[in-house]
């Protein structure tokens, strides 16, 4: 499946008009079914669907580890295509009155990872404070932003049309970078990659290409990622949640300039 397409557009520059084909990031729905029942529809960029479904199940509270997932795979949609529906079979699936809020009431849009969750309070039931976690040098965070940018092929091709999340070790060494039109999808993809490859997120640092919003902190805490940095700023709700959960947040990362919002002891200056 293509991650971008070229479509005709009119380009206005300095008063001149030209017709050109512009590369656009692909946006398609992905239905995630859990044990045969529809759970959510997320709008995503095609690619790494199993990682996305795996990470989504962890950050939603459907599973607590990769060992809770018995199998994953594509299944046909109403047209018979095997590309936009993923079936996840899990053991001991939580009931609606337990940890999980139950199936999403709405689709999850590309801009928001929490659309359709019935009650905000349900999210807190699946979160537990972080302890320990890695320490990373501020200079290594600076290096990470350049290393991530080198791997953002879709971002360059679509001229800024995709977000990215990088997962790195405590020395700033990049483990994986995933791109998607949604920041939350990119986060689920790197978390899913870690789960499927036996990578301990408790030893990792996450770097986000956009802002740090509430759902990004929520996903990091569920995955036990104790240090989250971003090129852009954090929201007030994200900072409040990170403070309560013991998560280190750093934002507005520009070269050697950054703002550390919470738990600064993990970033060595």
Which residues form the catalytic set? 112
The DSSP line for 32-80 is EEETTEEEEEEEE-SS-HHHHHHHHHHHTTS-SSGGGEEEEEE---TTS
Q: How would you classify the pairing of strands 174-180 and 163-168? A: antiparallel
Q: Is the Cα dihedral 94, 95, 99, 104 positive or negative? A: positive
Q: Which residues of 100-118 are buried (b: 16+ CB within 10 A; e: fewer)?
A: bbeebeeebbbebbbbbbe
Instruction: Yes or no: say if 162 and 25 are a contact pair by the CB < 8 Å rule.
Output: yes
Instruction: Yes or no: say if 161 and 155 are a contact pair by the CB < 8 Å rule.
Output: yes
Give the dihedral of Cα atoms 247, 250, 251, 256; nearest 10 deg.
Answer: -170
Q: Which residues, 6 or more positions from 197, have their beta carbon under 8 angstroms from its beta carbon?
A: none
Among candidates 87, 115, 117, 90, which has minimal Cα distance to 101? 117
Give the whole-angstrom CA distance, residue 109 versus residue 116: 9
């Amino acid at each position: 499946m293509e991650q971008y397409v070229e479509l005709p557009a009119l380009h206005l520059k300095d008063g001149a008009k030209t017709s050109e084909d512009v590369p656009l990031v692909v946006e398609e729905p992905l239905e995630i079914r859990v044990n045969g029942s529809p759970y959510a529809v997320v709008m995503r960029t095609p690619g790494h669907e199993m990682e996305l479904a795996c990470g989504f199940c962890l950050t939603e509270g459907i599973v607590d580890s990769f060992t809770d997932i018995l199998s994953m795979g594509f299944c046909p949609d109403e047209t018979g295509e095997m590309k936009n529906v993923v079936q996840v079979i899990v053991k001991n699936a939580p009931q609606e009155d337990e940890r999980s809020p139950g199936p999403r009431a709405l689709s999850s849009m590309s801009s928001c990872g929490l659309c359709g969750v019935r009650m905000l309070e349900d999210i807190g039931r699946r979160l537990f404070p972080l302890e320990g976690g890695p320490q990373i040098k501020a200079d290594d965070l600076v290096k990470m932003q350049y290393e991530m940018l080198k791997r953002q092929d879709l971002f360059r091709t679509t001229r800024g049309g995709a977000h990215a999340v990088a997962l790195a070790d405590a020395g700033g060494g990049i483990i994986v970078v995933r791109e998607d039109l949604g920041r939350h999808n990119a986060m689920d993809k790197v978390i899913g990659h870690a789960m499927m490859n036996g990578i301990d997120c408790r030893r990792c640092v996450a770097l986000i290409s956009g802002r740090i919003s509430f759902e990004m902190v929520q996903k990091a805490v569920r995955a036990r990622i104790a240090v989250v940095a971003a090129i852009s700023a954090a929201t007030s709700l994200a900072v409040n949640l990170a403070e309560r959960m013991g998560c280190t947040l750093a934002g507005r990362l520009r070269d050697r300039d950054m703002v550390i919002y919470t738990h600064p002891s993990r970033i060595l200056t």
